[in-house]
């Protein structure tokens, strides 16, 4: 950090405190060369995330859409709000750990499917029926059979087998 008065880089931080609801840090500094004090602000740089929709349109990432989908799938199921919040936090962490500026809605959907499957099998089938856009009862039954197989034998997750069955 250069001193705004003399341009030298020799300075020390004498006070730090969070500002703006802990979104940035205010630092008081003193220049070792000229002895003058100045203030700097540090702000965490976030990567704005854009979701690429099925129709190739783009929109900003919105956590509430994931929460809403999981809440609807878990309606009247023995899944607590804390479990849902934790699942959404884990999904969001996976999304942002990629450090990419764009992600497809399909990738987000698959992450959500995996987490919902871990929460509750009925909620999983509900979510899958909307997400995979089941066209008929047969497709729905195939997904139910995959869930039952998984439950009995501990095989691959239904999302994986259902996807391979479509191909």
Look at residue 143 in the predicted model and tell me its pLDDT.
75
Phi, psi dihedrals of residue 138, rounded to the nearest 5°: -60, -45
* pLDDT tens readout for residues 11-35: 999 999 988 666 789 999 999 999 9
Give percent above pLDDT 90 in the chain. Answer: 51
What is the Cα–Cα distance from 113 to 125, expressed in whole angstroms? 9
Per-residue pLDDT band at 155 (split at 50, 70, 90): very low
* H-run or E-run covering 14: strand 11-19
Q: What are the tokens at 158? A: 């239904």
Average pLDDT over residues 45-61: 88
What number of CA atoms fall less than 13 Å from residue 30's CA on the CB side?
4
Residues 107, 113: Cα–Cα separation, whole Å: 10
Is 35:8 a contact under the CB 8 Å cutoff? Answer: no
Instruction: Write down the pLDDT at residue 86.
Output: 92
- Full-model pTM: 0.59
45, pLDDT greater than 70: no
Question: What is the separation of C-alpha 76 from the centre of its chain, rounded to a whole number of angstroms?
Answer: 24
């Amino acid at each position: 950090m250069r001193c705004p008065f003399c341009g030298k880089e020799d300075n020390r931080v004498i006070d730090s405190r969070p500002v703006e609801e802990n979104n940035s840090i205010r630092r008081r500094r003193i220049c070792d060369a000229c002895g003058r004090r100045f203030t700097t602000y540090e702000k965490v740089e976030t990567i704005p995330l854009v979701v690429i929709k099925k129709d190739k349109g783009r929109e900003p990432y919105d956590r509430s859409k994931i929460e809403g989908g999981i809440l609807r799938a878990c309606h009247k199921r023995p899944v607590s709000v804390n479990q849902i919040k934790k699942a959404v936090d884990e999904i969001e962490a996976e999304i942002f750990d990629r450090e990419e500026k764009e992600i497809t809605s399909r990738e987000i959907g698959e992450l959500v499917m995996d987490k919902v499957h871990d929460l509750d099998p009925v909620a999983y089938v509900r979510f899958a029926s909307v997400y995979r856009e089941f066209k008929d009862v047969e497709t729905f039954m195939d997904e139910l059979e995959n869930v039952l197989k998984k439950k009995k034998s501990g095989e691959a997750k239904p999302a994986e087998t259902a996807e391979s069955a479509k191909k």
